Chains A and B, each alone.
Chain A
Amino acid sequence: MKHATRRTVGLALTAFTGLCAFVIVAVLALILADILEGGAAGVTWTFLTQPPSDGMMGGGIFPAIFGTAALTLLMTVAVMPVGVLTAVYLHEYAPPDSLFARWVRVAVVNLAGVPSIVFGLFGLGFFILFVGRGMDRVFGHEEMYWAQPGILWASLTLAVLTLPVVIVSTEEALRAVPLDHRTASLALGATQSQTLARVVLPGALPGILTGAVLAISRGAGEVAPILFTGAAYFLPELPTHLNSQFMHLGYHTYVMATQSPDVEATRPLLYATVLVLLLLTFALNLVAVIIRTRTRRKAAGAH
């Protein structure tokens, strides 16, 4: 190939790949610009603190913000112990050639690939119809109490969905704890569980927290798993019990976009809601990034 041809091919490839990369940035910029332009004016104090009114053509989104927060909190409380303990078993206790551990890992990977609507149906079938009905029978509720959609079942469904995120990031965090620290601890006469509690888990904590934040930011944005398990179409009251239904930012967005009697009147509210949801997710991701950077800096300081 001649020099000139090679140069042309090189330049063309640079330009083409660069263009593809630019498209990604452009799409994100377009979305953000559009939402900011349409939503910034709508995000007012009243909007953030009032329930929706006038058939969702007025008022605010406070119940949805509250519902999303409560749901996510419950989910975190449910998913963190199970996820962290699973990862601890897989990485610390399971024998290296354990068949069981390999099955669990395969299950985790597959769980991460299940479409979220399937989790929604699973939540309905397992938590509400199976566990909920069973509990009603055991506790002697004449009317449906647990066997109906509620914030507990929705948060548990989300917990199952986010479990792989927590397990994978916790295992990574455990792997990152230097072997030196473990051997030092054991050589000083610490037992394996003391080493785990005093050296390994503290060392892995930043990574585990990053996993928590990633799970939260994933869980907070999901709508499909909560469709059948607890999210309410319109409910100005805040959830007070574990079996209360609740409003949710993501579901509220969907409802406003598809069910409004007057699209034009709803549009500014829709924009503002989406903006709030995005800001929330970005904020959570930002927290994850900050924690991760700190961990890296700490790890770098250790050598």
Chain B
Amino acid sequence: MEARELTLRYGTKAAIQKVSLAILDRRVTALIGPSGCGKSTFLRSLNRMNDLIPGTNHTGTILLDDTDIHDRSVDVVDLRRRVGMVFQKSNPFPKSIFENVAYGLRVGGMKDKAALAQRVEKSLRGAALWDEVKDRLHDSALGLSGGQQQRLCIARALAVEPQVLLMDEPASALDPIATAKIEELIHELKSTYTIAIVTHNMQQAARVSDRTAFFYMGELVECGPTEQIFTNPREKRTEDYVTGKFG
């Protein structure tokens, strides 16, 4: 998945300016930068969640499998099934654990009970939650702990088998143990999925990602292998940020 010269405006105010960034297949790309730098806006434009905010407009292209996702032939509903998203605040539906995971499949038209059950189990296993919830699949998802709820949201996103998984600070509201579990999970998922993750936590970016992109004031300052960004950045601003001089 790749953005070329992407500029996105809220009204007349540009949130991101001419960002060109490739999200490499089966790699974890971390988007870092201070608050308001445009990294979340960039992430949300990858599955067109920004369409929901009135007054946004863009120039430039975003390619998924060589097709512009803003092309007329692309149905935004299909796009979002191919590019899944996990939000900062876990947001399970007030339904059972099973129904939460099955939701994307049901709206996609899957009716066969056995197939649904199979896919729900697979997704929950994929999100490392199965063993904790297998005996209470039909209890409310709201009874889960915060960390479990977030893994449930990941399972829910995995269930529709997206190519790309976008994560917007998925662990920022979690305690260190739950965060460690999410990070471990990201490690496992990258063998199957292309992942882009926004994070405020520099250590987290260093731990989970293969590539890191540093955003500042709506611009992409620098992108490269994570190790290089953290040890030997080309740009002074990147160095200042990753070493904690500002941000």
Q: Are A187 and B103 in contact (CB under 8 A)?
A: no
Q: Are B107 and A183 in contact (CB under 8 A)?
A: no
Instruction: Let me know if B156 is at the binding interface, CB within 8 A.
Output: yes
Q: Are B80 and A189 in contact (CB under 8 A)?
A: yes
| Complex interface: chain A residues within 8 A of B107 (CB) | 185, 188-191, 194, 198
Instruction: Let me know if B16 is at the binding interface, CB within 8 A.
Output: no
Report the bound CA distance from A301 to B142 in whole Å: 7
Report the bound CA distance from A181 to B80 in whole Å: 15
B36-52 vs A, CB cutoff 8 Å, 1 = contact: the mask equals: 00000000000101001
Instruction: Let me know if B108 is at the binding interface, CB within 8 A.
Output: yes
Within the complex, which residue of A183, A188, A194, A203 is in contact with B160, where a contact is CB–CB below 8 Å? A188
In the assembled complex, how far is the CB of residue A184 from the closest CB belonging to chain B, in whole angstroms? 5
In the assembled complex, how far is the CB of residue A247 from the closest CB belonging to chain B, in whole angstroms? 44
Instruction: Let me know if A199 is at the binding interface, CB within 8 A.
Output: yes
In the assembled complex, how far is the CB of residue B129 from the closest CB belonging to chain A, in whole angstroms? 17
Of B58-66, B87-95, B188-196, B231-239, the one touching chain A: B87-95
Report the bound CA distance from A167 to B224 in whole Å: 54
- With A181-B91, A183-B91, A298-B94 in contact, is A189–B49 under 8 Å at CB? no
- With A96-B54, A188-B103 in contact, is A180–B142 under 8 Å at CB? no
Within the complex, which residue of A178, A181, A191, A199 is in contact with B77, where a contact is CB–CB below 8 Å? A191
Report the bound CA distance from A198 to B105 in whole Å: 13
In the assembled complex, how far is the CB of residue B212 from the closest CB belonging to chain A, in whole angstroms? 24
Q: Are A188 and B157 in contact (CB under 8 A)?
A: yes
Q: Are B91 and A188 in contact (CB under 8 A)?
A: no
B73-98 vs A, CB cutoff 8 Å, 1 = contact: the mask equals: 00001101100110101011110000
| Complex interface: chain B residues within 8 A of A181 (CB) | 91, 93-94
| Complex interface: chain B residues within 8 A of A198 (CB) | 103, 106-107
Instruction: Let me know if B153 is at the binding interface, CB within 8 A.
Output: yes
In the assembled complex, how far is the CB of residue A174 from the closest CB belonging to chain B, in whole angstroms? 15
Report the bound CA distance from A254 to B47 in whole Å: 64
In the assembled complex, how far is the CB of residue B167 from the closest CB belonging to chain A, in whole angstroms? 12
In the assembled complex, how far is the CB of residue B123 from the closest CB belonging to chain A, in whole angstroms? 12
Residue of B nearest to A194 (CB): B107
Report the bound CA distance from A301 to B143 in whole Å: 9
| Complex interface: chain B residues within 8 A of A194 (CB) | 107
Count of residues in B whose CB is under 8 Å from the partner chain: 26
Instruction: Let me know if B34 is at the binding interface, CB within 8 A.
Output: no
Residue of B nearest to A195 (CB): B107
Q: Are A178 and B104 in contact (CB under 8 A)?
A: no
In the assembled complex, how far is the CB of residue A22 from the closest CB belonging to chain B, in whole angstroms? 42
- A190-228 contacts to B (CB < 8 Å): 190-191, 194, 198-199, 203
Q: Are A187 and B94 in contact (CB under 8 A)?
A: no
Within the complex, which residue of A96, A180, A189 is in contact with B91, where a contact is CB–CB below 8 Å? A180
Report the bound CA distance from A189 to B49 in whole Å: 11
- With A189-B77, A189-B107 in contact, is A203–B85 under 8 Å at CB? no
Q: Are A183 and B49 in contact (CB under 8 A)?
A: yes
Residue of A nearest to B81 (CB): A189
| Complex interface: chain B residues within 8 A of A199 (CB) | 93
Instruction: Let me know if A73 is at the binding interface, CB within 8 A.
Output: no
Instruction: Let me know if A302 is at the binding interface, CB within 8 A.
Output: yes
Instruction: Let me know if A186 is at the binding interface, CB within 8 A.
Output: yes
In the assembled complex, how far is the CB of residue A61 from the closest CB belonging to chain B, in whole angstroms? 43
Report the bound CA distance from A302 to B92 in whole Å: 9
Partner-A contacts on B (CB < 8 A): 47, 49, 52, 54, 77-78, 80-81, 84-85, 87, 89, 91-94, 103-104, 106-108, 142, 153, 156-157, 160
User: Nearest 10 pairs between A and B by C-beta?
Assistant: A189-B81, A180-B91, A188-B104, A190-B107, A187-B85, A189-B80, A184-B91, A194-B107, A189-B77, A302-B142
Sample (12) of A-B pairs whose CB atoms are under 8 Å apart? A96-B54, A180-B91, A181-B91, A181-B93, A184-B153, A186-B49, A188-B107, A189-B77, A189-B81, A189-B108, A190-B107, A198-B106
**Contacts beyond the supplied A188-B84, A190-B103: 14 A-B pairs with Cβ under 8 Å:** A178-B91, A180-B89, A180-B91, A181-B93, A184-B92, A185-B93, A186-B49, A186-B52, A186-B80, A187-B84, A187-B157, A188-B160, A190-B77, A198-B106
